[in-house]
Amino acid sequence: MTIIVTGAAGFVGHSVAHRLLDRGESVIGVDNFNSYYDPALKDARAATLIARPGFRMERMDISDAPRMAALVRDNGIRRIVHLAAQAGVRYSLENPFAYEKSNLAGHLSVLEACRHAEGFAHLVYASSSSVYGDKPLGGEGFTEDEPAASPVSLYAATKRACELMSAAYANLYGFPQTGLRFFTVYGPWGRPDMAYFSFTQKIMAGEPIEVYGEGKMARDFTYIDDIVDGIIGALDNPPPARENRILNIGDSHPVGLMEMISTLEKALGKQAEKIMRPMQPGDVTATYADVSKLHALTGYRPRVMLEEGLQRFADWYRDYYAAR
């Protein structure tokens, strides 16, 4: 049966849709192609999908509830991978209502479409490691059973709200759901607002990079192919009816920001001029995924380490921008 992937012109959605097509699924992609970052990159991602048999793209906003419901109903949809959202911690300080529309109204629209769909089988949706707040980096990863009650950004608050909305809908209407808390995804076709991508743009242009938190932050950088492995594994293993299952999806090896920059410099063959800046509002000091639950469910095991992943990204970056 056909699967809907929302955010299919986005970084993660584009890769998930390709993986589903690779294994013979039919996919309907949904995306509004907004201008949060360069729409040309979204168009280029979408073009790689539109060229493939079994795929069609619907240019629409997920917050359009009647249209979303009709799309699910008219195509007999039983599974959705819901990845569309307004991303970015810092942007949520500038344009909070974008998060209300995309993340809250958009998620509710998807939930309503699912609950009215006959025989709906599984909704997999994107949450975020941001829901953990500014948790100190200890010797163990963040676990799904820890409280997630102290968000430090509106973006994080909307993602936690989506988890709670899903819990209510699973309980009320019975359809199984899985929320995936993503930890810093990177790789080819990535988002230009992410640090590794924006650093690359500046380094290649000979411009200085701004290093926030005085470089004393750490992130659980997770390569895109590993993320897709986890998403597909979760999709294929739905929880029981009336359950909203929450799972971390990350690399489980946090890397310091300065080490990431050093690795990126090596991949690019260029040194960066660094300007040290204080931590920005909404940022967290560190992220670290405990992925034992996802591993037990699917056998998930990240395979691409940061050095290899950033080299792949650097190679893609050169090829993509050389052609433009």
Catalytic residues: 155
Kindly state the tokens that stand for 161. Answer: 């709200």
Would you state the structure tokens that stand for residue 209, as one six-digit string? 């990079």
The per-residue b/e assignment along 92-109, b for 16 or more CB within 10 angstroms, e otherwise, is beeeeebbeebbbbbbbb
- CA dist 75 and 4 (Å) reads 10
User: CA-to-CA distance for 276 and 197, rounded, in angstroms?
Assistant: 18
DSSP state of 289: B
Can you give the three-state secondary structure of 132-167, one letter per residue? Answer: HCCCCCCCCCECCCCCCCCCCCHHHHHHHHHHHHHH
Segments of 244-300 assigned E as strands: 244-249, 255-256, 274-276
Q: In whole angstroms, how far apart are CA 242 and each of 79, 226, 245, 312?
A: 15, 28, 10, 41
Crossing angle, helix 257-268 and helix 306-322, to 10 degrees? Answer: 50
Interacting residues of 259 by C-beta distance below 8 A, sequence separation 6+: none
If residue 98 lies in a helix (H) or strand (E), which one and from where to where? helix 96-99
**Angle 249-251-257 (CA atoms, 0-180°, nearest 5)?**
120
Q: Cα(226)–Cα(218) distance, rounded to whole angstroms?
A: 19
Note whether 107 and 125 are within 8 A (CB).
yes
